[in-house]
Structure 1
Amino acid sequence: MPARWAIMNGVQDTVAVALITSMSTLAAAGMTGVIGAWAARRQVTSHLTGAREERAEQRATERAQRRRDAYVGFLGACDQAYRSLDRNWRQESGAGHGETYQALRGLDEAYNIVLLEGPEEVAREAELVTASINGESREQRRLVGEVAAESDGVAPADVHGPWRRTAIEERARRRDSFVDAARAALEQTR
């Protein structure tokens, strides 16, 4: 082989080695880029999933707090109505019914919030409580009117004691049913 071909053969070997080296470098860089992009995608997906879960947890916490506030407001309105009804039982006339009317309006407003916040089981129990208090108020107006017409100076509670005790027992039973349903609903949102 002439010397010239030997030099060319050596150059071809060098070129071949250079080509192989550059190709392997490019392949390694490409693989590094693909692996980096894949890792970045996984990281972004993980962050998005974490953000979604955190937001869902935040919404659940906010919903539970809104419900709790609605339930507490409803129970407070019930207490206002109960106090007003109790005062009416001790009065000799129906003078306190205006106050009771305002308490019943507050109760209806609180009931509407419970109805909005739900769930259905709690709203149903709140409806029963509201109906019970409104029913007691209607019957109380009737009974207090009878007492005022028939006897001077006697409180309606003294004349209609058994009916009043039954009404108070019904209040407690309805309230307890509502509280049980509200607690169950709040436990489900945790």
Structure 2
Amino acid sequence: MQDTVAVALITSLSTLAAAALTGLVGALSTRRQLAHQLTVARQESVERRATRRDELRRDAYVGFLSACDQAYRQLDRRWLDAGGGEPTPGYDDTYAAMRAVDEAYNLVLLEGPAPVSAAGRAVLTSLTTEYADQRRFGDEPGDGSAPLRDRHRERWLAAIEVRTKRRIAFVDAVRPALGRDDC
């Protein structure tokens, strides 16, 4: 009888040891799987945030460029208006377009990075300078029937060149920020 009890005891202990070992191996395997799933979830979260950041940046940059285009059109109208060189006092279409560029630039400032913000500031500064020049030229006495472009041709050509250079510099700063270094 003692042999039977010993065999039963050994059998139960080995069964318990096998169950414990199986449980331990299962727990370690589950832990490893959960750690892997957590790592994958974190990576996906980082990628989603990066994608969202890139979308917000792109939208801000496109909005800024669109506002600049609208301001350029308004400035061009002023350069080409015969007798319209004198800006209307206060709030006019060109001023409204300039304000839209300011507002779009605020988003560029928020989204960054610093090189893009600096390039945007240069674009904004050139637009503001051109607008101020037009207002100053419009206040000058002289032949109001000739467009500002004809009366101040060198300044008009210089303004167009500055616009082009600043815009290209902005786009060149934007591409790396959006991961588009290959362009």
TM range (shorter): over 0.9
TM-score (norm 1): 0.89
* Aligned pairs, number: 177
Equivalent of 1:125, from 119, 125, 145?
A: 119
Q: Does 1:172 align with 2:172?
A: no
Q: Aligned partner of 1:30: which letter?
A: A
Q: Does 1:98 align with 2:92?
A: yes
Contact 1:81 1:104 in 2 (8 A): yes
Q: Percent identity?
A: 52
Distance 1:152 1:87 in 2: 15
Aligned pairs for 1:1-190 within 5 A: 11-91=1-81, 92-93=83-84, 94-95=86-87, 98-146=92-140, 149-187=141-179
Task: Structure 2: give runs of 5+ residues left out of the alignment.
Answer: none
Q: Aligned partner of 2:176: which letter?
A: A
Contact 2:87 2:138 in 1 (8 A): no
Distance 1:133 1:153 in 2: 25
User: 1:152 deviation in Å?
Assistant: 4.0
Task: Structure 1: give runs of 5+ residues left out of the alignment.
Answer: 1-10
Contact 1:89 1:144 in 2 (8 A): no
User: 1:51 deviation in Å?
Assistant: 0.8
TM-score (norm 2): 0.92
Relative to total residues, which structure has the larger helix share, 1 or 2?
1
Structure ID, larger Rg:
1
Q: Aligned partner of 2:147: which letter?
A: A
* Larger displacement relative to structure 2 (92-101 or 178-187): 92-101
What is the SS of the residue equivalent to 2:22? helix
Distance 1:67 1:116 in 2: 9
Per-residue deviation, residues 87-137 of structure 1 (Å, max 9, x unmatched): 001112224671110001000000000000000110011011101100110
Taking only aligned residues, the RMSD between alpha carbons, in angstroms, comes to 1.5
Q: CA, structure 1 residues 152+46, in 2 after alignment: closer, same or farther (shift >3 Å)? A: closer
Distance 2:137 2:145 in 1: 15
What is the SS of the residue equivalent to 2:39? helix
User: 1:50 deviation in Å?
Assistant: 0.8
Distance 2:123 2:39 in 1: 43
